Amino acid sequence: MFVAVRLLFVFRPVTLLNYPEDHDSRCFLAEELGYRVEGPPHPEVLIMGTSRLMECCFDPLAEALALRPEEVMSLSRPTNSFWPIRLLLQRNPGMLDGARVVVIDLLPYQIRERPDFPESDTLFLGYASLRERLDCSELRARVLTAADWLLPLWSERRTVEYWRKGIGTSLLSEGDFAVTMQELARSGSAEQMARMRTFGPGSFLRVFYFLYLPLTPISANEVRALDEIIDMMPEDTQLLLIMPPLIEDLHEALTGLRLEQYTDFQDYMRSMQRPGVTVLFCDEPSAYGFEREDFVEGVHFTDSGYRKLLALFADVINGLSAEGL
């Protein structure tokens, strides 16, 4: 039985039998594109953001860049980081063909292992190679993820509905893509945003530290993934690694406390700056025109925040040259 099951999962890239479980059926399309797509889209501007960019409609950005709406595509997903971005790009290699700019939105947790890793990281459990599993920093993570690779009793446990959908799933066509992404993003995360709006500043600081500045080891897999993303970029494609502004309170706390998790992250990311790769930390919110009402709870944006963010993106992208900003 073990041999049969293992063989089944060896053919995962082709069989499309897998389907992640940790989101509802109105899933974020970036998650679906973690699996191979026949005929992936070829946007000019590809946004690979976190939940900060999930609810955003990028049509104004397309207009500002003199592009059609479908030429600006967002594959943002919650808790996005370099490893899943690399996975998605690897499994859909044609997607970067003709891309002018790839935008990755930065947050400090992205080079670290998650506090609840590996149980919570179903993409990693589903797709990481054995080598990547053995590269996890914690012994427990190495053992669990390797055991799951051997016999995926954790990562491949799906509901009946997902097994049914996963078999022979045909993913959304190019034409439907951009609209569907925004609809899905809005409907899926509205409840979460509503809940986060109820947090007071003090509570949110604590949540922020836990979620975004975890005191967990640096992830060798994430670091390697970022290098591989950079290597994947075609010659004419600019990679923009940008951390949009945070609310004033968080900005002051981060700069005032000079937390290692944040300064290390900044230093590391800035070391990635090179021709073709631009790194930008929008540290001071007021310098970019962001005010309190532009943020939901301090990290995610309101509609007015998104308008300013897209204007910022347009300015930055238009200012990009072959050598970066």
- Residues forming contacts to another protein in the complex (CB under 8 A) are 1, 4-5, 24-25, 151-153, 156-164
Give the phi and the psi of residue 152 in degrees, each rounded to 5: -75, 65
Residue 159 vs 304, nearer CB to another protein: 159
CB 184, min distance to another protein, A: 14
Please report the DSSP string for 236-292 in residue order. Answer: T-EEEEEE----HHHHHHHHHHT-HHHHHHHHHHHTT-BTTEEEEE---GGGGT--G
Residue 191 vs 267, nearer CB to another protein: 191
CB 315, min distance to another protein, A: 39
CB 188, min distance to another protein, A: 11
Residue 151 vs 257, nearer CB to another protein: 151
CB 19, min distance to another protein, A: 12
Cβ neighbours around 132 below 10 Å, total: 18
Token pair listed for 92: 């859909």
Question: Which are the contacts of 263, defined by CB distance < 8 A and separation ≥ 6?
Answer: none
Distance CA 300, CA 279 (A): 20
Q: If DSSP codes are grouped into helix, strand and coil, which group holds residue 72? A: strand
Residue 158 vs 307, nearer CB to another protein: 158
Residue 130 vs 167, nearer CB to another protein: 167
CB 157, min distance to another protein, A: 5
Torsion of CA 252, 255, 261, 266, to 10 degrees: 120
In sequence order, the β-bridge partners of residue 279 are 241
